[in-house]
Amino acid sequence: MATPASIQHAVQAWADRYWAGEYWPPLANLARLTEETGELARAVNQQYGQKKIKSEQDVADIELELGDLLFVIGCIANSTGANLQQGFEAALARYATRDEGSTGF
């Protein structure tokens, strides 16, 4: 099972191989994250919403778009020194505390 830490390490290994360990600046990666989020929105809208797929368009792939988001998140974490594993675990703990006793949305 992939973990936030393993994703972060895989992104670092990729960056070391293809980018000599250098990342785009954090604000540029934030723009990339926003772009990828839009691509995920398009994919979800094509499959579950009102978006019609034009004949010259390919059907967007939700899994691939989520993978792109994870990659860019790994880039942001690595370039800023953030620890994805710790951040994710802290977020889960915060959600658990917030949602304790909740019965759903």
Tens of pLDDT, residue by residue over 67-86, are 999 999 999 999 999 999 99
- What's the CA gap between 30 and 56, in Å, rounded? 29
Please report, for residues 51, 69, 79, 90, the alpha-carbon distance to residue 58 in angstroms, rounded to integers and kept in the order given.
13, 19, 33, 38
Band of the pLDDT at 59, cuts 50, 70, 90? confident
E strand or H helix at 57:
none
Tens of pLDDT, residue by residue over 82-105, are 999 999 999 999 998 888 877 766
Please state the domain extents for the chain. 26-94
Tens of pLDDT, residue by residue over 10-31, are 999 999 999 998 999 999 999 9
Q: What's the mean pLDDT in 18-45?
A: 96
- 26-94 CATH choice from 3.40.50.1580, 1.10.3720.10, 1.10.287.1080, 3.60.20.30: 1.10.287.1080
- What's the CA gap between 76 and 69, in Å, rounded? 11
- What's the CA gap between 31 and 72, in Å, rounded? 10
